[in-house]
Amino acid sequence: MKKRINISIGLFLFTLLGCASDQQVDINDSIEGRFLKSSNGQSILVNDHDVVIMGNDTEEGEVCEDINIGDKIVVIADAIDASYPSSANVIRCKLIEEGSVNDLPNETIDYLQDMGWVFDLSD
């Protein structure tokens, strides 16, 4: 009986601490997707599961400066904010394959535009 109470208290505390977090997950891992840039210069990664607003976490200038809209990229991030759309502190960005606007999912672009994002999607 005492063991059950200890396990219950442990699970309760684990759940409580998990819910009280600031919704930021440290991953230091890679995220793959297509590159999108808003008209105000904000870099965005779009994949099948998420939209990630990419912040620059280096002192060397723009991380994805030689990447074009629609290019398939992989980014290394030190943290992801679990909101929607997500945001990530990007450390490194690497081109996997060149792409175009046509490689971006129309539904995601429409959804972002409905949220107020503006894009210049001309080739």
Domain count, the chain: 1
Phi, psi of 16 (to 5 degrees): -60, -45
Query: What is the C-alpha to C-alpha distance for residues 54 and 33, in angstroms, rounded to an integer?
Result: 12
pLDDT at 57: 61
- Asked if omega into 85 is within 30° of 0 (cis), the reply is yes
CA angle 48, 18, 28 (to 5 degrees): 50
Q: CB–CB of 101/70 below 8 Å?
A: yes
- Residue 58's domain is classified under what CATH number? 2.40.50.140
Examine residue 77 and state whether it is found in any structural domain, yes or no: yes
Residue with tokens 């074009």: 68
Q: How confident is the model at residue 39 (pLDDT cuts 50, 70, 90)?
A: very high
CA 25, 47, 50, 69 torsion-angle sign: positive
Structural domain that includes position 43? 2-114
Examine residue 120 and state whether it is found in any structural domain, yes or no: no
Examine residue 35 and state whether it is found in any structural domain, yes or no: yes
Q: Is 103 left (phi over 0), alpha (psi -120 to 50) or beta?
A: alpha
Condensed to tens digits (0 to 9), the pLDDT of residues 43-87 reads: 999 988 788 888 876 666 677 888 999 999 999 888 777 777 888
Full-model pTM: 0.71
Is residue 119 over pLDDT 80?
A: yes
